[in-house]
Amino acid sequence: MSDFIELYRIEVMHDYYRDACCGDIIVVPTKECLRYIHNLELFIRQDYKNRWLICARNSDIDIERIKTVIAGNDTKLEFYLEYNNPEFFLYTDWPNYKPHLQYLFSTDDVDTIKDDRTIKFGVTESSDVVVCRVDNEQYKVNNGSIAILSLSLSSDIFDTEKIAENNVVNVKILFNCNRSHWEYILIPRTFNDKQRVFLEEESGKLKFDTPDEHDMPDGQKSYVTMVKDIVDLKENYNYRINLLEEKNGSKRVLQSAIDYPSVTDFSDSNVDDNIRVVTKYIYF
């Protein structure tokens, strides 16, 4: 028999990451929550980079204590969701996010989950997600947080007869990645107006516009090209982009496997759809 039972298992997921596990958000109990955890003799522990467990000891005394709390239906455990990566909002799609407001994920708005044992919170396009809302108090107490996570210890969530069965509730906090236009500025050491250079992705997954000649602020000549489709920002990509030159009907590779634009590659360019542009400079 295990020494403890899980009440809640909290996971933070983000499709920006290859494994979807987001280690850029940490779950931090509020002061009041810490008092509840201490008084109820619960404990919270992180067992993976994106996963936290709220547990009770597996003893008759502790189980009876939890049953009494659940029967009362008035205990909420609240946690700050704090970000520890300043790039979080560069790759996260959160429309109209306002940093001075307090957002809330709460089990109060969730229909009974006694059967499937899973709640999905987040800011995503999925239809089965409980979307974050602005808290009634609105203005933040903790400026390092993106939201409050409020979890109830109530009979709407837990069946007291099954507490000892380790019938954990899975809380998944989900985020989508931002989308962007990819722009490349190709800067030759020596400009030749008879030279034709272009980018090509080996698998054909990305298609590029025909490069246009462009004058840099310092007078340097360059070529500008963009990916034709909007690209999801990701931690890693499977593209292989080469810089090629065409001369006298034949092509040759000038640079192979050039770098991708990253979330921190800011751009002065604008497009009509207001989707962010990220720009990569390539010297050759």
Q: What is the pLDDT of residues 152-198, one digit of tens each?
A: 999 999 988 888 887 899 999 999 999 999 999 999 988 776 778 99
The span from the CA of 92 to the CA of 17, in Å, is 11
Domain boundaries, the chain: 4-175, 179-283
CA atoms within 13 A on the CB side of 199: 31
Q: Are 244 and 259 in contact (CB under 8 A)?
A: no
When pLDDT is averaged across residues 41-49 and rounded to a whole number, the result is 94
Share of the chain above pLDDT 90, in %: 74
pLDDT over 90 (residue 234): yes
- By DSSP bridging, strand 179-187 and strand 231-232 are antiparallel
Q: Are 101 and 92 in contact (CB under 8 A)?
A: no
Please state the φ and ψ torsions of residue 36, each to the nearest 5 degrees.
-60, -45
Q: Which CATH number fits domain 179-283: 3.30.870, 2.60.40, 3.90.320, 1.20.1300?
A: 2.60.40
The span from the CA of 240 to the CA of 261, in Å, is 13
Between the alpha carbon of residue 49 and those of residues 10, 11, 26, 52, 72, the distances in Å are: 11, 9, 9, 9, 33
- The pLDDT of residue 268 is 86
- The pLDDT of residue 1 is 52
The DSSP output letter for 128 is T
Residues in the chain: 284
Nearest in space to 218 (alpha carbons), one of 166, 174, 281, 160? 281
Look up the pTM and report it: 0.89
